[in-house]
Every structure is written in C-alpha cells, then in structure tokens.
Amino acid sequence: MTKIAFLGPEGTVSQESAQYFFNNESYEYIPYSFISDVYNATVSGHTDVSVIPIENTIDGSVKLHVDQLVLGDLQIQAEWIYPSIQNLIGFKQPQENGLAEIEKIISIDVAIAQCRNFLQAHLPEVKFEFVSSTAEGVRRVRELASPAVAAIGTKLAAKQYGLELLASNITDHQNNFTRFILVGNSSPPLKVANKYKTTLLVTLPEDYPGALHQVLSAFAWRRINLSKIESRPTKLKLGTYYFYIDAEGSLDSVLMPAAIEEIEALGCQVRILGSYPSYNYETSDTAHMEV
Ligand SMILES: O=C(O)C(=O)C[C@]1(C(=O)O)C=C[C@@H](O)C=C1
C-alpha cells in the first residue's frame, strides 16, 4: 500500500486531483493540515509520497512550495495539471434574499483570489476568514452551522460535509489550472505518460558574462524544450540566484545528460530535482466532478 500525504481535510483540490490521476486501491490518502506537514510526512517516512501544489494559472508559482522543494531532499516523482473549479458552499439560503444573508466567506487565500470577480459582483461587502485549505473552510462552515457563513471549495467537499452548492463554478477564469507534483524518495508504480520532464536547479558561476545564455544554448541546440525557467534568491547572499528549470524529456534520454554535462562544464552547479512523467487533464472530462 502506497501512502500519499495531501493537504487536508478530505475534499481539497489536492485530493480531488490526485485521486483523479491515481485512483487505485493500492493508494492510501492521508490528510495533513499544512503543506510543510504534507512534505515532512514523507521526509519522516510516515508516508511514501506527498502532493504539493506548485503553480497556478492565475497566481504563477507558489514560491513557498518551490522553496520547500529546493531546501529539502525529496525528488519529484510525477506532475499533473488539474482544473481548480471552485464553488460557493454553505447552508440553504432564504429564496427571497439570494446570497444577501452571507456575511463571511471562509477559504484559503488562493481560492478567494481565484473568485474575485464573482465576489465583487455578488458579495461586495463580505468579510473573509483565511484558513489552510478549501476543504478546511467547508469543514468550518459546517461546524459554525450558520447560513451567514459560506466557503469556497470543491463539490467533493460540499458532498463530504453535507452542505449545499449555493453557486457552482464561480472561478473567474475558465482556464484556471493548478500544477501539482508528487514528491518522495522513490516512485510508486505509475501509469505511462505521453510526456516526461526533468527539473533542474542551476546555479551560475559568479561574474561570468553570458552564463545564462550559454546554459540556455545547451538545451536549444539539442532541441530540448524548456517549459519553465524561474529565478529564485539563493537566500545565502543578496543578489545571488539559482535558476529553476523544467526541461521536456527524461534523464534516460541521450540528450538530457549531455546537456547537463555541458552546463556543468561551464562551471555551473546543477542539481536534479527529478525526472518524471507529466500527466495532463482531458478538458472535456468534468463528469467526475458532478455530485
Ligand atoms: O485548498 C485546496 O483545496 C488545495 O488543494 C490547495 C490549493 C493551493 O494552495 O494551491 C490547490 C489548488 C486550488 O486552486 C486552491 C488551493
């Protein structure tokens, strides 16, 4: 049995997305309250792998989670892209008032940010309470047992906590996707993917004009596509950065190790954060989200 740590409680987008791709009796899902706990569950051996949301279409990279990956030792074992479809969830409202009774929304900051236009249009005066996940907001609303509070979360969570969907699919952008990664010391058995990626952390030598240009050339002339490049501070000295690079292709290919060797020969430090399958969501397939 493979134990998978995810941001809980039951019904988060993390869980919904992981179960969509890894729906198998041999996986046991274990909830944790914070992403740092999700990560550390695998570091300490309580779980085999952990699910980490790493990037969102609207907000970009989740910097804290990227840093967690860089500071720790766990390797990326897989990634997947999944739509974050948020809903307004709570107790049944009086028909005549619409949503006017709602005074407070409880959710994670990321989900509230994804529904800003809806909230401005329908609940301009509402107050916010921030919690550690969408499902935690839904759980809190259930606990408070008041029609004056509502949560933003998944249909899975509404079902889990026996609450009403007051408004469905309230996300501002229809192409609101989150990229998740599975991290661990080893890979559980995974499906074959259409695409493989390798994530590298490259630190340039100091005072080397054109170093980044040469790093990029090592990929370019081998026709290795880079799907992401981002600089993050090393946190060791002001003005020093490493580059977080997602390259398309596996470390098992001939070209990838050759590109890495070339980059190292330039005097760069290269750390491999993982070489893994990349799964994509079929956009037509939302049936599993219906309740
Ligand atoms: O709160 C959740 O449901 C999560 O799985 C976390 C998380 C995130 O932090 O990025 C994941 C995707 C959603 O878009 C919103 C929140």
**ipTM for the complex?**
0.97
Atom number in ligand 1 closest to CA 6: 5
Confidence class for position 128, pLDDT limits 50, 70, 90: very high
Last residue of a domain, one of 141, 175, 209: 175
Confidence class for position 11, pLDDT limits 50, 70, 90: very high
- Number of structural domains (the chain) is 3
pLDDT of residue 183: 97
Query: Same domain for 181 and 171?
Result: no
Query: Same domain for 76 and 122?
Result: no
290, pLDDT greater than 80: no
> Is residue 152 within 6 Å of ligand 1 at its C-beta?
no
Domain hosting residue 141, numbered range: 87-175
Whether cis (ω within 30° of 0) applies to the bond prior to 53 is no
Cα 5 to Cα 52, 77, 159, 183, 229, distances in angstroms: 9, 14, 21, 10, 27
The alpha carbon of residue 188 and the mean position of all alpha carbons in its chain are separated, in whole angstroms, by 19
Query: Same domain for 149 and 70?
Result: no
284, pLDDT greater than 60: no
Nearest C-alpha to atom 1 of ligand 1 is from which residue? 133
Angle between helices 63-71 and 35-43 (to 10 degrees): 20
pLDDT of residue 96: 75
**What's the rounded Cα separation, in Å, for the pair 38 and 181?**
12
Of the listed ranges 52-61, 67-76, 134-143, 184-193, the one predicted with least confidence: 52-61
Ligand 1: which of 110, 116, 169, 176 to mutate, most ligand atoms within 8 Å of CB? 110
The alpha carbon of residue 102 and the mean position of all alpha carbons in its chain are separated, in whole angstroms, by 29
> Is residue 178 within 6 Å of ligand 1 at its C-beta?
yes
213, pLDDT greater than 70: yes
Last residue of a domain, one of 144, 175, 206: 175
pLDDT of residue 291: 43
CA of 134 to the centre of ligand 1 (A): 7
Residues 13-31: pLDDT tens digits?
A: 999 999 998 877 789 999 9
Confidence class for position 56, pLDDT limits 50, 70, 90: confident
Supply the pTM of this predicted model. 0.92
CA of 12 to the centre of ligand 1 (A): 7
Query: Same domain for 116 and 66?
Result: no
Give the H/E segment covering residue 275: strand 269-279
289, pLDDT greater than 60: no
What's the burial of 274, exposed, middle or buried (CB within 10 Å: 0-12/13-18/19+)? Answer: buried
Query: Same domain for 139 and 213?
Result: no
Query: Same domain for 169 and 181?
Result: no
Of the listed ranges 44-48, 93-97, 98-102, 105-109, the one predicted with least confidence: 93-97
Identify whether 290 is part of a domain: no
Confidence class for position 209, pLDDT limits 50, 70, 90: confident
Identify whether 285 is part of a domain: no
Residue 40's domain is classified under what CATH number? 3.40.190.10
**What's the rounded Cα separation, in Å, for the pair 247 and 250?**
8
> Is residue 171 within 6 Å of ligand 1 at its C-beta?
no
CA of 133 to the centre of ligand 1 (A): 6
**What's the rounded Cα separation, in Å, for the pair 163 and 103?**
17
CB-CB contact of 246 with 47 (8 Å): no
> Is residue 12 within 6 Å of ligand 1 at its C-beta?
yes
Atom number in ligand 1 closest to CA 84: 14
Query: Same domain for 169 and 93?
Result: yes
Query: Same domain for 91 and 169?
Result: yes
120, pLDDT greater than 70: yes
Query: Same domain for 73 and 95?
Result: no
Q: In whole numbers, what is the pLDDT of the chain averaged over residues?
A: 91
pLDDT of residue 154: 96
**Mean pLDDT of all residues in 152-160:** 96
- Phi and psi for 214 in degrees, rounded to 5? -70, -35
What's the burial of 225, exposed, middle or buried (CB within 10 Å: 0-12/13-18/19+)? Answer: exposed
The alpha carbon of residue 157 and the mean position of all alpha carbons in its chain are separated, in whole angstroms, by 18
**Mean pLDDT of all residues in 248-254:** 95
CA of 257 to the centre of ligand 1 (A): 34
pLDDT of residue 287: 47
195, pLDDT greater than 60: yes
- Phi and psi for 283 in degrees, rounded to 5? -60, -25
pLDDT of residue 285: 53
Query: Same domain for 206 and 262?
Result: yes
CA of 14 to the centre of ligand 1 (A): 6
pLDDT of residue 112: 95
Q: Return the percent helix, strand and coil in the chain, to nearest 5.
A: 30, 35, 40
Angle, vertex CA 272, rays to CA 270 and CA 276, nearest 5: 150
Query: Same domain for 47 and 157?
Result: no
Residues 157-167: pLDDT tens digits?
A: 999 999 999 99
Query: Same domain for 228 and 253?
Result: yes
CA of 51 to the centre of ligand 1 (A): 11
pLDDT of residue 286: 53
Confidence class for position 283, pLDDT limits 50, 70, 90: low
Nearest C-alpha to atom 10 of ligand 1 is from which residue? 53
3-state DSSP call for residue 109?
helix
- Read off the tokens for 253: 């290919």
Ligand 1: which of 4, 35, 50, 84 to mutate, most ligand atoms within 8 Å of CB? 84
For the stretch 190-210, what's the b/e string if a residue is b when 16 or more beta carbons lie within 10 angstroms of its beta carbon?
Answer: eeebeebbbbbbbbbeeeeee
Identify whether 163 is part of a domain: yes
122, pLDDT greater than 60: yes
pLDDT of residue 64: 79
**Mean pLDDT of all residues in 246-266:** 96
Closest CA to 67 of 229, 231, 186, 177: 231
- Read off the tokens for 283: 């956009």
> Is residue 134 within 6 Å of ligand 1 at its C-beta?
yes
